Amino acid sequence: MNKLLLVTVKVFLFLVTVTCKGPEKKEIAKNDLVKNSNNPDQEYYLQFVEQYGKEFGLQINKTESIAQYVRRIFKDNEDNFWFGTNSLGVVQYDGDSLKYFSTKKGLSGNQVTGIIEDQKGNIWISTNGGVSKYDGTRFINYTIKNGQNTERIWTIFQDSRGIIWVGTANGVFNHDPEKENQFSRFTLSNAGINNPKIRISTIIEDKNGSLWFGTDGEGVIKYTPSDKMGDQFKKFSAKDGLCDNYVMSILQDKKGRIWFGSRYGGISQLTDSKFINFSHTNGDIGDDEVCVVFEDKTGNIWFSSEGFGVYRFDGQTLKNFGVSEGLKIRAVQTIYEDENGLLWIGGGDGLYFFDGTHFARVTRDGPWEKC
């Protein structure tokens, strides 16, 4: 962040502190800016202007990214883009303008970890403060309690039966929108893991209707709905050939292979009960932290590598895309392909798109004509 922005923040923080007549207003302004102390300076400034810009006549520089950190990218059935940020809530691009939704507008939390659309067109958003359902007009929030504390949600998914699943730092919860008002715990006690309330980082459903849960330290749990309790769960760990027991992302590709991105061991491909691993240790990739795995329309597998941008696997070879190709994100968190074949990537330097050869940074001013 440049010095001008820093000075601007400090000046207006001072103005808020000394000119606001009520103690409540002064406290809100100070708390909103400092409660997330790990955010970059630019993120503070954007948050400040989003919340208080009209009052003080401030405007966002449109050459800035939509957020300093973009964690999720999603496009709904109405062709709206949704971008989950690290501290500004969720951003909607409707083809004309950007709209920011934060806790000030009813969202459950400002750190967004997942975005899905249900079978009725509602947008569900998982955050550090619970789960929000947006019906196009308002947010309905669901809190998952652990004692007195609200659970941080790490992932959200809807299966083919319409059940909403979330992974938390305290295990798995699910919700049937047709039957229930809240989320209920889904027990993993029969899954053969040491801690059934372990953090769940990712959830998918495979083509056969089985659910896969990526855990933080216990590998992967496969759950197949069945009347026979003993047949429901199967666990895969490093002992079975999985690259690592800390699984951050899971994908099943068009060929039926299942891919697992891990925190410390690179990436695994599971085919016919056999794991094939790609890792820094094996000399395949730059770093073993793989946050996201994605398949494009042509069948290429894309995945992140901390500090090394992204890799593309065409079935035979790996190709790396990083700073030299224009991608300046060290920590890639999300990859999405639109209907035009344009690849969108988000992470620790905002939002980028890939035109097939080069990455370009997307600011608040666009180029949105690429959508």
The domain spans of the chain are 3-56, 70-370
187-224 confidence digits (pLDDT tens) = 998 888 888 889 999 999 999 999 999 999 999 999 99
Contact 202, 215 (CB under 8 A): no
Please give the single-letter amino acid code of residue 94. Answer: D
In this structure, are residues 314 and 271 in contact, taking their beta carbons and an 8 Å threshold? no
pLDDT value at residue 225:
86
Q: Which DSSP state fits 134?
A: E
What is the gyration radius of the CA atoms in the chain, in angstroms? 21
Find all residues with CB under 8 Å of 15, minimum gap 6, and list them: 56
Closest-CA residue to 33 (of 113, 88, 99)? 88
Residues 6+ apart with CB under 8 A from 24: none
Q: Does CATH number 2.130.10.10 belong to domain 70-370?
A: yes
Distances (CA, A) of 40 to 161, 194, 223: 41, 37, 39
- Rounded Cα gap, residues 296 and 335, in angstroms: 10
Q: What is the dihedral of CA 172, 169, 249, 273, to 10 degrees?
A: -60
Give the residue ranges of the chain where pLDDT is below 70: 1-63, 146-148, 227-231, 370-371
